[in-house]
Structure 1
Amino acid sequence: MKLATIRTGSVTAAVRIDQTEAVETGHPDVGALLAEDGWQELAAGADGTRHALDALDYAPVVPCPQKIFCVGLNYRSHILEMGRELPEFPTVFAKFPAVLIGAYDDIVLPAASQAVDWEGEMAVIVGARARKVSVEEAAGLIAGYSVLNDVTARDWQYRTKEWLQGKNFEATTPFGPVLVTADEAHATSRRLVTRVDGETKQQADTGDLVFDAATLVSYLSTIITLEPGDVIATGTPGGVGHARTPQEYLGDGTVLTTRIEGLGECRNHCVQEKSDDA
């Protein structure tokens, strides 16, 4: 099953995406749907207002998750090609909901940064409360998967040893277009491709993750209770612009495409924010 949050005028609505139309579930967004007991049955049986697929205006699939965790250095081949040892524990940082945009919304390139980079990633969406769960238990608590790009202001990221400031510029992080439920997205290996103006920059297999989805849910649930709708971005492979020679970054008018086999595609135009003194 595929679920999405769409904009309908001044409000949003959770929908089930069928082959020919989208059907409203009666919830304001996918996060609200996931908070309901038996959300799978509610979504499968929904028979609300219907929308043509080609007319959908996608919001972030979960517009306001309580928590957004991101994982760094999580693709085995990329770590080894850089001559590093595989990490013993996940490298974790956070994003805030204001960074999220829909799968086809414009990315706002912040005026304060001259080094905005791409990071295509698979997102995991939590489907039930999880606290101190095992890896085996965690697998059954995943609602599904989606596409995310952890767009990063590198010059701000590396101002200090902490990354948060480079990861949280507003309206920079595409997320969607749909949540593919775990029962449908059962493959452990999916091809991830990031393209900039049609040129492939990143290619990877999600089966190459050092810490897989269930391991990350288990690990993070040891720290804090995970709630339905919480998001985990599982990390990016090699091919980011900052690591290239010469370095490459997103610019005004650039089109960033992030695709994961079986999960969908985000396609976003980059729009330069005007400086305050312009």
Structure 2
Amino acid sequence: MDISEKKRRIESISNEVKELHPILENVLPKLPGVKSYAYTHGQYERGADFVVEVVNSSTKRTNHVGVVVKCGKISSSRIGDVEEQIKECAEERAYQVINRVRCSEVWVFASAGYSERAKEKLQERLKGRSIEFFGSEDIAAFVDDHYPYFWSDLPTEIGKYLQSAKSRIEALDKTTGLLLTSVQSDTYIDLDTYEHQKKTYTNTNTNTSKPSTKTVDFIKEACSTSFGLLEAEMGFGKSKLARRLALSLCDAISFKRRKLLPILTTYRQFIDCHNSSLEALAEFSLGLA
């Protein structure tokens, strides 16, 4: 999917709350400098659909940004409600329950963009306010960087989980690697994996069993069986191999084809926290429990 197709996909969004808000809820927390956020859309939103806490890279101080979200294009004839929302963003509000804050800056997201004339009018009418505008191309670029699973048409909870799992596994790989560098290497040497088999040797006197082995594709084997046991001595790379399996299952195409969800947990957690129930573990991991 090229950028023009992605733009059209964003521009075709017609439901602000059910479609556009979930996209931004997956994007905003991951933008550089964002420390925290709150979804504030509703009866008491005071103009902002989201409030974002941003850390200034120079001073290390934080300020709060009100995020105004609109479906369609913001034109000169449509700036009235946008103007009112921007004004309301300056009102004091509760943030993260105990804090009282004012939004000194406003970000306006419009799924189909905005006209330059509408932008000029709003900036003229609201002099002294810091306002940034973002259209479909900006939103598509943010999705590319921070929520690429959106393009795969996965359910929101699935896409969000796969992205989070992928990030956790990659971070774990980085911290457990032998080379502690700031750059993560993509180099990986595949381990040979074997399936244990029993082969019977018969002679005239006695029957004895001798173990035999057969090379297998570990990822293919793991995906085609309901239960597997991976054995090796300490330091052979079992954990790394398991993470490679999980990463392969974090791919959106893989999920669509196999319908397998990678969940990393310990046996103790599975027994003690989820009562040995795969359904309970999956619901907990997806945030549905």
TM-score (norm. length: structure 2): 0.21
Of Structure 1 and Structure 2, the greater helix share is in 2
Structure ranking higher on relative contact order (CA contacts 8 Å, 6+ apart): 1
Q: Select the structure of larger CA radius of gyration.
A: 2
